[in-house]
Amino acid sequence: MPIVTSKEMFEKAYAGGYAIGAFNVNNMEIIQGITEAAKEVEAPLILQVSAGARKYANHTYLMKLIEAAAIETGLPICVHLDHGDSFELCKSCIDGGFTSVMIDGSHLPFAENIALTRQVVEYAHAHGVVVEGELGRLAGVEDAVNVSEEDSSYTRPEEVEEFVSRTGVDSLAIAIGTSHGAFKFKPGTKPQLRFDILEEVSRRLPGFPIVLHGSSSVPQEYVKIVNENGGALADAIGVPEEMLRHAAELSVCKINIDSDLRLVMTAAVRQHLNQHPEHFDPRQYLKPARESIKEMVKHKLVNVLGCAGKAF
Ligand code: G3H
Ligand code: 13P
Ligand code: ZN
């Protein structure tokens, strides 16, 4: 199966009340863990690359690893740029074979966000590539951006129709209270998302695919393993899985997960090296790390996103 866009995936996901998992990738073991899980349960996949990942691993290496995964698994896989911050970066990813790009103009004034997004859409569509835009601003930490809680803002539903019609985007990321990273809610408080905003956005954009960023659930069993093996992730809290399931049943067609991959991988490496201090062959600790990613991703695909069995 060649690399595909997310167009057909989203149409089926919207109609079927499930979501596609969009997992961030940085190296071979992460790509193998995710794609082996998806192959076992026959799930379609979005593999996404951030600007930081592209800088770390190199565009061509990641592209070739993903192409290898598509050949090995036979799955439909979409290759997506996560949080593109300029026309030039989006263009470079489109020219380099990505089938989907995000242009994140969410920090810009509305009119400037529209202008930049429109520019990317024109180039992308002329090359058969789809585009995700964003309205509203998530809090949290990404590689290059650290958005404080005060600077974050929920999506304003009254803006979404104009944004989508004037830009021509294929999907829209919205902010309803999720955030990037492993510390999403204050310890001791009940995690809450603004489902009223999601429902109002869906009412205004019938049939249109919505994207949820910052959707790691930070499983506490892995936080415990990290902390028991020399890590310091006290107070790490994620989005409860039942909320993600609910969002997937509504209009959310793409759910972004990165921190959970980092967490399970780090837990496996820390535990392995603590139990086997004599090991120094990277394969000895990267193998359980890859296995741990596979187990976690399988759980997400089957029990949270509902996309198992939907690859073909
Ligand atoms: O939302 C951002 C992703 O978690 C990617 O993070 O920029 O550190 O690669 P990164
Ligand atoms: P998490 O930090 O919750 O995994 O979110 C990842 C994300 O939104 C990537 O764009
Ligand atoms: Zn994100």
The gap from C-alpha 144 to its chain's centroid, in whole angstroms, comes to 16
Residue 312 covered by a domain: no
Tokens representing 149? 């809680």
Report the candidate in 260, 265, 256 with the shortest Cα–Cα distance to residue 21: 256
* pLDDT at residue 200, as a whole number: 98
In a mutational test of the pocket of ligand 2, which residue from 176, 178, 212, 213 has the highest number of ligand atoms less than 8 Å from its CB? 213
Q: Is 214 in the pocket of ligand 2 (CB under 6 A)?
A: yes
In a domain, 237, yes or no: yes
Measured CA to CA in angstroms, residue 307 lies from 1, 37, 44, 71, 247 at distances of 18, 12, 7, 20, 13
Give CA–CA dist 175/198, Å, rounded: 9
What is the distance between the alpha carbons of residues 10 and 169, in angstroms, rounded to a whole number? 13
Q: Can you tell me which atom of ligand 2 is nearest the CA of 102? A: 10
Closest CA to 174 of 80, 255, 242: 255
259 lines ligand 2 (CB under 6 A): yes
Does the residue 263 lie in any domain?
yes
The rounded Å distance from CA 240 to ligand 1 centre is 20
Give CA–CA dist 4/18, Å, rounded: 19
pLDDT of residue 306: 98
User: In the annotation, is 95 catalytic?
Assistant: no
- Look at residue 35 in the predicted model and tell me its pLDDT: 98
Structure tokens belonging to residue 301: 């695909």
136 lies in some domain: yes
Answer whether residue 1 is part of any domain. Answer: no
Domain enclosing residue 119, as ranges: 7-305
Give CA–CA dist 92/147, Å, rounded: 26
Kindly give the confidence (pLDDT) of every residue in the chain, 312 residues in length, as a single tens digit, with 9 standing for 90 and above: 689 999 999 999 999 999 999 999 999 999 999 999 999 999 999 999 999 999 999 999 999 999 999 999 999 999 999 999 999 999 999 999 999 999 999 999 999 999 999 999 999 999 999 999 999 999 887 665 667 777 789 999 999 999 999 999 999 999 999 999 999 999 999 999 999 999 999 999 999 999 999 999 999 999 999 999 999 999 999 999 999 999 999 999 999 999 999 999 999 999 999 999 999 999 999 999 999 999 999 999 999 999 999 999
The answer to whether residue 194 is domain-embedded is yes
Mutate to test the pocket of ligand 2, among 25, 30, 106, 142 (most ligand atoms within 8 A of CB): 142
On whether the CB atoms of residues 154 and 177 are closer than 8 A, the answer is yes
Do the domain assignments include residue 301?
A: yes
Residue 144: the pLDDT is: 57
For strands 210-212 and 171-174, give the pairing. Answer: parallel
CATH number at residue 177: 3.20.20.70
Residues with CB under 6 A from ligand 1: 24, 50, 52-53, 82-83, 142-143, 180, 258
3-state SS assignment for residue 255? strand
Distance CA 134, CA 106 (A): 5
8 Å CB contact between 236 and 222: no
20 inside domain: yes
Contact between residue 22 and residue 54 where contact means Cβ atoms under 8 Å apart: no
Given its phi and psi angles, is residue 282 left (phi above 0), alpha (psi -120 to 50 degrees) or beta?
Answer: alpha
Of all protein residues, the one whose alpha carbon is nearest to atom 6 of ligand 1 is 142
| Tally of structural domains, the chain | 1
